[in-house]
Structure 1
């Protein structure tokens, strides 16, 4: 990838004016020369154009598109894709931030990569509401990653990825039916067409706010997301060698159990972890979280702290 190629940054937003200004500022501060910014306002009460009226980033182009009704984040991302002119697309959630070198480092990685690479992603630093770092995730997975993605979204968020725009179009864009796990499902479909490459640095800051993210909505995960995800994933798993569907389904139950715990639904969490163990009894973390779910908040919080330490040291 030469430095002359255009990168389109797509920022979907809804009713978070302060966070939007912060996110856009980190786009404006990028060290890469050619960036166009497409902001998709999903019918915010205060239009994004008003929020950014005094903001004049030195980018190649800035476009603000406003939906006439709230249609959801994936629809907003697809709107941004339709407007994109760049060779590559980078999504940025409005509550996340970028290191100023993110796009440049990803562009350089694409320039060194073989043609089979269609996604370059970075690591993530998680910070809490007090701006304290509670986890730093450094990428370790590269190449053909479909099997790995069947068991979990190791990229974590749209905000880490730079993707070939033509590849986004080839897979049909984002599936607008998903209220959560949208990024996981999208990355999985992309992985069927290309290889992934990692920039092993935490160049995205993800702000974890209690109950502030769709990923924390347990009911929608169980009623809508999980059935849809199984519908999409099962045919993919069936086409791959050495994949046992029960182990994949056990992993989904584990993720649902984690979502239940984050929402304080400890009885539901125990059911999910129990199902995961019945399907895949050799996976130690399932037992750890099942025990934690019996203790409610008293054991959930210590488990979270232990997990963060393990993640921080790459375990």
Structure 2
């Protein structure tokens, strides 16, 4: 397969223009030139004027849905992917941001490794209301940084969607976000994409995601839904965990057997050497 290098950046938004502007600014500042922003307005007030301000800096597609025809988070993302023209798909939530080297690191790694699913690391920014309708950052700390392990998803999702990138063919093969899920649609996507792909981890911080103290993040506002959906997904993909466990057991057994044979062979060689030395030290008659 010949892999092109144009990236469609999917951003879903709904009535958060200040955050959206910050996110789009971070896309426009990317050092990787082959990109387009795809903004999907999921039933909020129009952001056409805001989006138009970026058109002289990058290619940008805007999909706006009326509140009466609001597709929801999952379908909004899928519609964005379908509207994009990029060979690769990257995601940026409207309340997150990228550092300028984000796409360049991903695309460089895609070329050098041949991987079709990749992710980087992100910092976690805690924000509080600033009293003027916006937010200010009060703390920044490292987010998770873990190499890919499908079983790791069972302990909790260690990949943030805003660090995630994949080739369009992966979407064609495995589909987009499941609209039946109220939350954690990204974790479900990660599970499905891991069927055929070992994700490539770039252990560099290239993004920043936000957690707000006023509980306006989905993960805090919908805590029960997150817990219930996480349990449902773990059960849904339990067969994968069993398969992975059996694979590890077999690999571990093979490694132990290999080590046993190596030690046995080394012991034999040492014994032979000791006997040879003993013979050479014996006085000649």
Would you call these one fold, judging by a TM-score over 0.5?
Answer: yes
Q: 1:218 is matched with which residue?
A: 223
Q: 2:16 is matched with which residue?
A: 16
Q: Is the 8 A contact 1:40 1:76 kept in 2?
A: yes
Are 1:122 and 2:127 counterparts? Answer: no
Pairing partner for 1:139 from 145, 151, 158? 145
**1:121-162 Cα shifts (integer Å, max 9, x gaps):** 1111111114133421363313xx22222322111x210011
CA 1:27 to 1:213, structure 2 compared with 1: closer, same or farther past 3 Å? same
Gaps of 5+ in 1: 244-315
Cα offset for 1:2?
A: 9.7
Cα offset for 1:39?
A: 0.6
Q: Distance in 1 between matches of 2:36 and 2:9?
A: 6
Q: Superposition RMSD on alpha carbons, in Å?
A: 2.4
Q: 1:241 is matched with which residue?
A: 245
CA 1:180 to 1:160, structure 2 compared with 1: closer, same or farther past 3 Å? same
Cα offset for 1:82?
A: 0.9
Pairing partner for 1:162 from 156, 160, 165? 165
Q: 1:152 is matched with which residue?
A: 156
Structure having the higher Rg: 2
Instruction: Name the TM-score, length of structure 1 as normaliser.
Output: 0.69
For CA contacts below 8 A with separation 6 or more, give which structure has more relative contact order: 2
SS of aligned partner of 2:39: strand
Q: Distance in 1 between matches of 2:105 and 2:174?
A: 25
Q: Is the 8 A contact 2:154 2:234 kept in 1?
A: no
Cα offset for 1:120?
A: 1.3
Cα offset for 1:12?
A: 0.7
Q: 2:203 is matched with which residue?
A: 200
SS of aligned partner of 2:179: coil
**1:271-297 Cα shifts (integer Å, max 9, x gaps):** xxxxxxxxxxxxxxxxxxxxxxxxxxx
How is 1:105-116 mapped onto 2 (pairs within 5 angstroms)? 105-114=105-114
Are 1:40 and 2:45 counterparts? Answer: no
Q: Distance in 1 between matches of 2:235 and 2:137?
A: 38
Aligned residues: 236
Q: 1:93 is matched with which residue?
A: 93
